C-alpha cells in the first residue's frame, strides 16, 4: 500500500496537520493486516518518501513518519508522486499481494508528469487507485482519471471531514482485498 499526501502551498498549515493525522490513521489501520508493507510519500513540486516500503519499525513509528513530515509548500506534482510510488511498488512487488495507492490532494495538479497517463500505467498492472479530493477547487475529472473507478473517488470541501472519509476508504479497500 502506498499513501501519497499532497504537501503543496495551496494547503493551509492547519489543514496539512489534519491530512498528516489522517494519513497516520490509514497507516495504523492497515499496518497489522494485508498491507503490513506501506509506502508513504509527500509531494509538492518535489516528491519525498517519508515512509520507505521496507521500513521495519513499530506502527507508532510508521504513523510518526507522516506526522513528522514537513509541509513542502511548492506546486502540486501529483503525477510525479504517482510515478514514484509506481516505480517503488513495481521494484518490490510480491505475487498475490494486494497493491493499492491512496492519493490525498486538494485536487488540481499543476506540475510534473501527466496524471491520467501515470494513473493508467499503475492501474494496468493491477494497482488499485483510490483518491481523496479536498477543498473548493477540486478538478473532478482529474480525480476520476486517477481512481480505478468512480466509486473510489472521495470528495469533501472541508479538511476536518477527512476522518469520516478515512473510514469509508478503509471499508472500500478491505471489501475488495
Predicted pLDDT at 5: 97
Identify the CA nearest to 106 among candidates 5, 3, 2, 1: 5
For the residues of 43-54, what is the DSSP string, one character each? ESSSEEEEE-TT
With left for phi above 0 and alpha for psi between -120 and 50, is residue 4 left, alpha or beta? beta
Beta-carbon contacts of residue 58 (< 8 Å; ≥ 6 apart): none
Predicted pLDDT at 37: 80
Spans of the chain, pLDDT less than 70? 32-36, 95-97, 176-177
Residues 119, 12: Cα–Cα separation, whole Å:
26
Q: 111, 175 in Cβ contact below 8 A? A: no
Beta bridge partners of 128: 100
Residues 132, 6: Cα–Cα separation, whole Å:
10
Q: Name the strand (E) or helix (H) holding 130.
A: strand 128-134
User: What is the tally of structural domains in the chain?
Assistant: 1
- Domain extent, residue 91, equals 2-176
Please tell me the chain's helix, strand, coil percentages from 3-state DSSP, rounded to the nearest 5. Answer: 45, 20, 35
Q: Which CATH number do you get for residue 69?
A: 3.40.50.410
The backbone torsions φ and ψ at residue 52, rounded to the nearest 5 degrees and listed phi first, read: -65, 145
Q: 61, 88 in Cβ contact below 8 A? A: no
Residues 122, 148: Cα–Cα separation, whole Å:
9
> How many CA atoms are closer than 13 Å to the CA of 94, on its beta-carbon side?
11
pLDDT in tens, 152-173: 999 999 999 998 999 898 888 8
- pTM given for the model: 0.94
Q: 177, 34 in Cβ contact below 8 A? A: yes
Amino acid at each position: 500500500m502506498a499513501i501519497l499526501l499532497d504537501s503543496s502551498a495551496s494547503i493551509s498549515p492547519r489543514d496539512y496537520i489534519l491530512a498528516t493525522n489522517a494519513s497516520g490513521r490509514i497507516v495504523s489501520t492497515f499496518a497489522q493486516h494485508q498491507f503490513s508493507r506501506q509506502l508513504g510519500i509527500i509531494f509538492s513540486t518535489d516528491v519525498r518518501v517519508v515512509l520507505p516500503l521496507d521500513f521495519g519499525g513499530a506502527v507508532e513509528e510508521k504513523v510518526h513518519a507522516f506526522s513528522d513530515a514537513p509541509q513542502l509548500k511548492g506546486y502540486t506534482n501529483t503525477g510525479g508522486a504517482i510515478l514514484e510510488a509506481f516505480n517503488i511498488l513495481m521494484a518490490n512487488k510480491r505475487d498475490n499481494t494486494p497493491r493499492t495507492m491512496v492519493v490525498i490532494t486538494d485536487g488540481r495538479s499543476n506540475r510534473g508528469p501527466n496524471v491520467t497517463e501515470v494513473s493508467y500505467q499503475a492501474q494496468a498492472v493491477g494497482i488499485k487507485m483510490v483518491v481523496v479530493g479536498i477543498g473548493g477547487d477540486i478538478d473532478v475529472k482529474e480525480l476520476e482519471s486517477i481512481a480505478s473507478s468512480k466509486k473510489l473517488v472521495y470528495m469533501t470541501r472541508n479538511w476536518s471531514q477527512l476522518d469520516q472519509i478515512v473510514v469509508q476508504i478503509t471499508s472500500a479497500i478491505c471489501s475488495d482485498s
